[in-house]
Amino acid sequence: MDDLKLECRQDPKAAGKQVLKVSGGVTIGDAGGLRQALLAALEKGSELQVDLSEMTGIDLTGLQLLCAAHQSALLGGKWLYITDGGNMTFRDMAAGAGFRRHTGCARDTSYSCIWAGGES
């Protein structure tokens, strides 16, 4: 996997919307940096788009961090969603790890689960 790169910016077209672009690979060794980037981005805005279109790999820790960030967003009354641009690496890893779901978890009261739409 390539080295992890994180770039966060304010979306110029939407006030309060942050875009966190994740490039390269996400492994357990990168968990601290990804966690901090997710928390900082959620702190800055009311909406966070996590762009995984240039991600080259992700392990179970990275998938769990994305899930935890989504739950943190819900608790804070904010939105977090993922765009992957058709990234099959991400989709295959999420499906292989059993994250794809038919519906969200019990905490997903806004029906915004980042894993919904897949297998149950």
- Domains assigned to the chain: 5-97 (3.30.750.24)
Given a cut of 80, whether residue 18 has pLDDT beyond it is yes
Report whether pLDDT(120) > 50: no
pLDDT digits (tens, 9 = 90+) for 33-44: 999 999 999 999
Structure tokens at 1: 């996997």
Q: What is the pTM of this model?
A: 0.90
Name the band, by pLDDT with cuts 50, 70 and 90, for residue 119. low
Q: What does each C-alpha distance from 60 to 43, 44, 53, 94, 97 come to in angstroms?
A: 24, 26, 18, 8, 7
> Are the C-beta atoms of 55 and 41 separated by less than 8 Å?
no
The pLDDT value given to residue 84: 94
Q: What tens digit of pLDDT does each residue of 88-98 get?
A: 999 999 999 98
Task: Work out the pLDDT band at 116, boundaries 50, 70, 90.
Answer: confident
pLDDT value at residue 111: 81
Which percentage of the chain shows pLDDT scores above 70? 97
